[in-house]
Every structure is written in structure tokens, then in C-alpha cells.
């Protein structure tokens, strides 16, 4: 990548200028999130993961996106309220952005370029169900390397390298993910 992942301008959910550079020296898990998705309960696991590892140099960066079946229609205030009231989310949340298609945010373009293939920890069931659901809507899943759905996860090392990508149905507490996080924290 020509531009460091740390240098891509972002805004927090509250509208404040930010970047992943704010987390230099930490291991970061970037997740595109949504409040009306079958995977939304992952917020609970993400918050637990954050609490378990934040004192060791780990942070989660949540990016709401309405790209998948309109499952994140809320305003920034509605998203913040939903996350705190329902899941006690304390990890950093950023403004709603597009993560696929021609309007894809530069952060997601860089993440996908760095890691074009996701580790699939759940077998084929999720993809099969998603394909069936989308076909009923007259569409189909995004082709690789695009983000497949909400809650896809990108793991970034302490020095800003995108080291791994995990499929949307990867539970935040899945040993494959936690082992990858622990390896990066130990590096």
C-alpha cells in the first residue's frame, strides 16, 4: 500500500476527526458493524474481547455500514445509543461509511487490498444461508475480494500492517481469532 493505514482520515461516531494512527503501537481489530443484522449479537463478544485485551495494547474500531440490506439505517446518535444501551459498547466507534462498491471508504479499499481473502472459521453454512437470502432478494453475495457482509474483521499489527481477515460469522471469541490477537500482542 502506498498510503499508511494510519494516515487515512476518519471521523469518530461523534464527528470528531480521527485516524487509526491514534492507535499506533496497538493491535487493532477493525469491524464493519450493523444494528439490525442477524450477526448484531456479536457486539457482546466484541465488547468482551475488548475488555479482555485492552490493557494489553488491543483496541477494536467499529465502523457502522448500511451497505448490506439496509441493516444500519440509524443516525450517529441512534447507533451510539443502540450500542451502549443494548451491548454496553465501550470500544471506539467511527462514523457510518460505505465498505463496498464504488463509494467504498479509502480505509476499506486499503484493508481489502492488504488482505483480499478472509479466514472462514464457520464452514459454509453462513455463506449458503446468505446466498439463499440474497437470491430471494434478487441479488447475490459480493464476489471476493469485497467484504461479504456485516461483522467482517481485519486484524492490524502494532506497526500498522493488516495481518489477517476473518469472515463475518467468526465469533469474536473464536480461538482462531483470539490466538491471532494474542500472537500480535506478543510480537
- 168-172: long-range contacts at Cβ-Cβ below 8 A with a sequence spacing of 24 or more? 168/39, 168/126, 169/39, 169/121, 169/122, 169/125, 169/126, 170/119, 170/120, 170/121, 170/122, 171/42, 171/45, 171/121, 172/42, 172/45, 172/46, 172/48, 172/49
Say what the pLDDT of residue 1 is: 42
Q: Where are the alpha helices (DSSP H) in the chain?
A: 42-53, 76-87, 106-114, 125-136, 175-186
The domain in which residue 67 lies consists of 5-186
Question: pLDDT value at position 42?
Answer: 96
| 83 noted as active-site residue | no
What's the pLDDT score for residue 178? 97
Residue 90's CATH number: 3.40.30.10
Number of domains in the chain: 1
How high is the pLDDT of residue 3?
67
- 10-residue stretch averages of pLDDT, the chain, 187 residues long: 83 97 97 95 97 98 95 95 95 97 96 93 81 82 89 97 96 96 97
- In the numeric block, which cell numbers belong to residue 61? 474500531
Active-site residue, selected from the candidate residues 37, 69, 80, 114: 37
CB atoms closer than 10 angstroms to residue 124: 9
Amino acid at each position: 500500500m502506498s498510503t499508511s493505514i494510519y494516515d487515512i482520515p476518519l471521523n469518530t461516531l461523534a464527528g470528531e476527526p480521527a485516524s487509526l494512527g491514534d492507535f499506533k503501537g496497538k493491535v487493532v481489530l477493525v469491524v464493519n458493524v450493523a444494528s439490525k443484522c442477524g450477526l448484531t449479537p456479536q457486539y457482546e463478544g466484541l465488547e468482551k474481547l475488548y475488555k479482555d485485551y485492552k490493557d494489553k495494547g488491543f483496541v477494536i474500531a467499529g465502523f457502522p455500514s448500511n451497505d448490506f440490506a439496509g441493516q444500519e439505517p440509524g443516525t450517529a446518535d441512534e447507533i451510539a445509543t443502540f450500542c451502549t444501551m443494548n451491548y454496553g459498547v465501550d470500544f471506539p466507534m467511527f462514523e457510518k461509511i460505505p465498505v463496498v462498491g464504488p463509494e467504498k471508504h479509502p480505509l476499506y479499499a486499503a484493508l481489502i487490498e492488504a488482505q483480499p481473502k478472509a479466514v472462514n472459521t464457520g464452514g459454509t453454512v453462513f455463506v449458503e444461508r446468505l446466498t439463499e437470502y440474497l437470491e430471494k432478494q434478487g441479488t447475490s453475495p459480493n464476489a471476493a475480494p469485497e467484504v461479504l457482509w456485516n461483522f467482517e474483521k481485519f486484524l492490524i499489527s502494532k506497526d500498522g500492517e493488516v495481518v489477517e481477515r476473518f469472515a463475518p460469522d467468526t465469533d469474536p471469541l473464536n480461538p482462531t481469532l483470539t490466538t491471532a490477537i494474542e500472537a500480535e500482542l506478543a510480537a
